[in-house]
């Protein structure tokens, strides 16, 4: 009986995907030197963008204050707004420099990736960037206004809303960054399914635990204690997880 001629071809193709192309041996010193250079350029990118954000920090502060509406902000201590400006500039610099920082990270790890891993690199980077921006937009357009409106309505008949500028920006910056990171869930699912580590069926079987985890994550990432914001974020996380399952089905339709 003649052996199946297709099987060896498929096995050879699978083996080639697990190979590391252009594998060049580097000494530990060379690795450390390359790491040092890439960290240097990443820090330079962060520093330049942070300085740029600090120069134009007032329009950025006004943009972040907009969801609070008519609320007046107070500077409760000398230099409070200055340190708030530094925080806003640092967060803005981190977001703006993230593509360059990501480029340095990819450049460092790329030589050690197999062909299979390199094939998913571009969609992972692109999808992660889009989802992070969507997370920022969702937090700014939905979560922040919902949380602020809850607090304003709760004490409207008792207290006048005069908020500390520092406390407000701690609230909004943490919520923005946390939501952007939470929106990376489908990217993680895509990576796990593309590498064959977790199947869509396994993801779906864990939906009960995911809903519980979404509620917990929503409570942790939301710097306020209002249930509306926590439920909105938990619902978004659960929806992203279900969307990630659909993405995994496209990657692994037979599993």
Q: Are 204 and 243 in contact (CB under 8 A)?
A: no
Concatenated DSSP letters for 93-133? HHHHHHHHHHHHHHHHHGGG--HHHHHTHHHHHHHHHHHHH
Report pLDDT for 21.
60
Please give the model's pTM, rounded to 2 decimal places: 0.78
> Could you tell me if residue 218 is inside a domain?
yes
* Domain encompassing residue 116: 26-251
Q: Which DSSP letter does residue 198 get?
A: S
Report pLDDT for 10.
40
Q: Report d(CA 84, CA 62) in Å as an integer.
A: 12
Q: Report d(CA 211, CA 98) in Å as an integer.
A: 30
Q: How many residues does the chain have?
A: 255
> Could you tell me if residue 115 is inside a domain?
yes
What are the angstrom distances between the C-alpha of 212 and each of 71, 76, 165, 235?
35, 39, 34, 11
> Could you tell me if residue 14 is inside a domain?
no
> Could you tell me if residue 152 is inside a domain?
yes
- Kindly state the tokens that stand for 105: 């990270």
Each of the 255 residues of the chain gets a pLDDT tens digit; together they read: 445 555 444 444 445 555 666 555 667 777 788 889 999 999 999 999 999 999 989 999 999 999 888 888 888 888 889 999 999 999 999 988 988 888 888 888 877 777 777 787 888 888 888 999 999 999 999 888 888 888 787 777 777 778 888 889 988 888 888 888 888 888 888 888 887 788 888 888 888 888 888 888 877 777 666 677 778 888 888 888 888 888 878 766 555
> Could you tell me if residue 153 is inside a domain?
yes
Residue 74: φ, ψ to 5°: -115, 145
> Could you tell me if residue 12 is inside a domain?
no
Report pLDDT for 229.
78
Helices (DSSP H) in 2-56: which residue ranges? 6-17, 28-55
> Could you tell me if residue 3 is inside a domain?
no
Three-state DSSP class for 72? strand
| Total number of domains constituting the chain | 1
Report pLDDT for 19.
61
The total of other beta-carbon atoms located within 10 Å of residue 134's CB is 15
């Amino acid at each position: 009986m003649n052996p199946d001629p297709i099987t060896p071809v498929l096995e050879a193709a699978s083996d080639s995907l697990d190979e590391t192309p252009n594998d060049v041996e580097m000494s530990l010193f060379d690795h450390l030197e390359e790491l040092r250079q890439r960290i240097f350029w990443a820090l330079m990118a962060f520093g330049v963008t942070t300085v740029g954000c600090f120069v134009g920090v007032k329009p950025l502060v006004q943009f972040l204050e907009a969801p609070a509406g008519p609320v007046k902000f107070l500077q409760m201590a000398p230099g409070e707004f200055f340190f708030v400006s530094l925080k806003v500039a640092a967060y803005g610099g981190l977001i703006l420099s993230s593509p360059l920082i990501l480029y340095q990270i990819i450049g460092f790890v790329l030589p050690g990736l197999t062909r299979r891993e390199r094939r998913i690199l571009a969609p992972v980077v692109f999808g992660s960037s889009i989802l992070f921006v969507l997370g920022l937009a969702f937090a700014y357009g939905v979560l922040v206004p919902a949380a602020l409106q809850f607090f304003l309505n709760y004490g409207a008949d008792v207290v006048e809303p005069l908020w500390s500028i520092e406390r407000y920006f701690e609230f909004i910056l943490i919520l923005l960054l946390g939501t952007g990171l939470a929106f990376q869930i489908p990217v993680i699912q895509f990576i796990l399914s593309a590498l064959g580590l977790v199947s869509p069926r396994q993801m779906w079987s864990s939906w009960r635990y995911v809903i519980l985890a979404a509620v917990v994550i929503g409570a942790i990432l939301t710097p306020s204690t209002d249930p509306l914001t926590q439920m909105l974020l938990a619902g978004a996380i659960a929806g992203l997880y279900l969307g990630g399952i659909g993405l995994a089905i496209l990657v692994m339709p037979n599993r």
